[in-house]
Amino acid sequence: MTTTVTSHRTRPPAQPTSLRGRRLPWYAAPAIAVAALALAAGIVYGIDIGGPVLVVVLGAILYLVGLFAAANAVEGRRSARNRTWSALIHSAFVLAVLPLVSVVWTLVSKGTERLDGNFFQTSMNNIGARDANGGAYHAIVGTLEQVGIATLITVPLGVLCAIYIVEYGRGKFAFAIRFFVDVMTGIPSIVSGLFVLAFWVLIVSPWFNDGRPSFSGFAAALALSVLMLPTIVRSTEEMLRLVPAPLREGAYALGVPKWKTILRVVLPTALPGIVTGVMLAIARAAGETAPVLLVAGGGAAINTNPFENNQSSLSLFVYQQAGDASKYAPARAWTAALTLVALVLILTIAAKLLARRNRLSR
């Protein structure tokens, strides 16, 4: 009996097919960008048709064209479109950040010239055009008092108005409130100043000043309140609408009254967004010049009483110093502008930290 043995040849295992196609090397995009800027600079300066701004704009266009062509040749049309759109998104981000960086750099570089103790401890009283001293102490005091009073007026009123619109408002009355708040959002600052001038300064203030109209920091705070109120109402309204309905329903199911649910559940949940809206309103009010000029009058002396006599503010101080003929005035204006931005930034950070702490404590 013959046994036949069949030998089976072992085949090598099949190699897995790579699912990744060809890709541009990591240095391709920077190289294309450098080449595009060099080509744009050669075109712009060679023909003498512009400056650095045109070089950047033309370089960006050439970069997008070159990136699309290179990616299309190596990776395919689909990947080329993806790379081009990604580059457009990043370019938009850079264009949005560049003005902010430019403003910050300009403020810091020019505002540090008078960043000394004399600037924060003295006013412009008895300061002549040839005097290098003089500061913005009176303007800082005025800004803090005016914005502080306006905040005390508008925050409770704005939050209560938003609560009514969201939680209680139904029908035509709520629609009318929302409509007038939207209208007030677009009111120019000069109009609010004229309103307070016609009502408070010319009609009400003579009752407290022996029949004579008088400027005051409180009048400026009223004008700033008109500007702050719609921002606070609208931002608070949107934040309250974002609170999930199950939170309210759970409180109601436990027998909690509606007013206590709003106070203990709804407001703490929406607090970070409400604080953001309030700080936006404060930042707008702190930078207004026209209302303060119309109803507070400005002044060079220190006035810590917001209810009588003229009072200045940092924004008005910047406006006055920017138009002053003294060679020392521009440095004061830049330092005052830097102080105003730093003041708003400090208040915003402090408010955010306070809101976060209160939220975590609950």
Buried b (16+ CB within 10 A) or exposed e, 247-265: ebeebeeeebeeeebbeeb
- What gap in Å lies between CA 99 and CA 92, rounded to an integer? 12
- What gap in Å lies between CA 141 and CA 122, rounded to an integer? 11
pLDDT attached to residue 235: 93
Closest-CA residue to 100 (of 108, 111, 89, 110): 108
pLDDT attached to residue 337: 93
pLDDT attached to residue 1: 44
Closest-CA residue to 193 (of 219, 212, 217): 219
**How long is the chain?**
362
- For 297, phi then psi, to 5°, come to 80, -20
pLDDT attached to residue 208: 86
pLDDT attached to residue 220: 94
pLDDT attached to residue 241: 92
pLDDT attached to residue 17: 45
Contact 135, 124 (CB under 8 A): yes
Q: Which residues pair with 297 in a beta bridge?
A: 311
Closest-CA residue to 140 (of 295, 340, 351, 349): 340
Match 């009123």 to its residue by tokens: 157
Domain parsing of the chain, residue ranges:
23-112, 120-357
CA angle, corner 349, sides to 347 and 352, nearest 5? 105
Question: What is the identity of the amino acid at 116?
Answer: D
Give the CATH architecture of domain 120-357.
Answer: Orthogonal Bundle (1.10)
Closest-CA residue to 215 (of 194, 197, 195, 188): 197
Contact 7, 25 (CB under 8 A): no
Contact 237, 335 (CB under 8 A): no
Q: What is the pLDDT along the chain (362 residues), one digit of tens a residue?
A: 444 444 445 555 555 444 566 888 888 889 999 999 999 999 999 888 888 888 888 888 999 999 999 998 888 888 889 989 998 898 888 888 888 888 899 999 999 988 888 999 999 998 888 888 889 999 999 999 999 999 999 999 999 999 999 998 888 888 898 899 988 888 899 999 999 999 999 999 899 888 889 999 999 999 999 999 999 999 999 999 999 989 898 999 989 999 999 999 999 999 989 998 999 999 999 999 999 999 998 888 999 999 988 999 999 999 999 988 889 999 999 999 999 999 999 988 888 887 776 554 55
Q: Which residues pair with 311 in a beta bridge?
A: 297
Residue 27: both structure tokens together: 């240095």
pLDDT attached to residue 20: 60
